[in-house]
Amino acid sequence: MKGVSRETLAHIAAQDMPDGSCVNLGIGLPTMMADYVPAGREIMLHSEQGILGLGPKPEPGFEDEDVVSAGKTPLTLVKGASIFSHSDSFLMIRGGHIDISCLGAFQVGANGDLANWSTGDPTHTPAVGGAMDLAAGSANVWALMEHCQKDGAPRILERCTYPLTAAQCVKRIYTNLALILVTANGLIVQRIAAGLDFDSLQSVTAAKLTLSNTCSEYRPLTEAELANHQPNLLLADA
């Protein structure tokens, strides 16, 4: 099951960022959300190494090796952006000043547990980074990931089998197949990839799902939408 592309998934998640929010974008797929910030919304994008005012990726040939994301990918800064120390950045995180943290994930539990720092594989060095602080200190955590591992194993489980990053922190799960809300009543499917039926989605999910009465489809993006990297216009005009 292929589902939507990484670019489309980043676009979908970016459209859900509320106006006036401070949002941390984690390494990997979440960083791509900076390319698709909805025009006209005042959204402050945070990067854990000490940036508030993250912009979209630069056009080819305009990369600056001194301006990179936490994952070492080139980025831009919007007008009015601020750069500060790593320690100050984590004071923001631990102080509860991040409204939403968008993080990659290896596994998510039905109760909102997050596992994204170690698979237990002795051949791969675990890397916690700032994920534990972000998961524990943010008001909301959105997990972005492929629905299944490369071998087809589900990433959404009743209970995570990998070491936890934080317990019961995830509120939304964005995958290439669906948007799933983590609620007190279980996992609710709010959106689903076009052409995919609920039973097929359930078959690749190792936790019970419930279909929302208002469930809609992921909409494939046009080439123009994918090419339209939107800076945070309100901040850019500051």
Tell me which CATH code domain 6-231 carries: 3.40.1080.10
- Classified as helix, coil or strand, 120 is coil
Low-confidence ranges of the chain (pLDDT < 50): 231-238
Which residue ranges make up each domain of the chain?
A: 6-231
| pLDDT tens track for 169-188 | 999 999 999 999 999 999 99
Strands 178-183 and 170-175: antiparallel
Q: Which pLDDT belongs to residue 225?
A: 67
Closest CA to 116 of 142, 94, 151: 142
Pairwise CA distance, residues 123 & 104, whole Å: 20
- pLDDT tens, residue by residue, 26-61: 999 999 999 999 888 999 999 999 999 999 999 999
CB contact at 8 A, 105 and 116: yes
pLDDT number for residue 228: 60
Give the pLDDT confidence score for residue 2 in this predicted structure: 86
Dihedral sign from CA coordinates of 99, 113, 118, 150? negative
39 within 8 A of 229, measured Cβ to Cβ:
no
CA distance 114 to 110: 10
SS3 per residue for 165-200? CECCCEEEEEECCEEEEEECCEEEEEEEECCCCHHH
Q: How far apart are CA 161 and CA 149, in angstroms?
A: 13
Strands (E), the chain: 22-25, 44-47, 51-54, 77-83, 100-104, 107-109, 114-115, 140-145, 156-157, 170-175, 178-183, 186-193, 209-218
- Report the pLDDT value the prediction gives residue 77, as an integer from 0 to 100: 95
Give me the pLDDT at residue 227, please.
65
pLDDT of residue 229: 53
pLDDT (0 to 100) of residue 234: 37
By three-state DSSP, how is residue 206 classified? strand
- This prediction has a pTM of 0.92
Contact 108, 205 (CB under 8 A): no
Helix (H, G, I), strand (E, B) or coil at 128: coil
Q: Where are the beta strands (DSSP E) in 51-198?
A: 51-54, 77-83, 100-104, 107-109, 114-115, 140-145, 156-157, 170-175, 178-183, 186-193
Burial class (CB in 10 A: 0-12, 13-18, 19+), 183: exposed
Rama region for 112: left / alpha / beta (φ>0; ψ in -120 to 50; rest) = left
Is 48 designated active site? yes
- Which member of 42, 48, 146, 158 is catalytic? 48
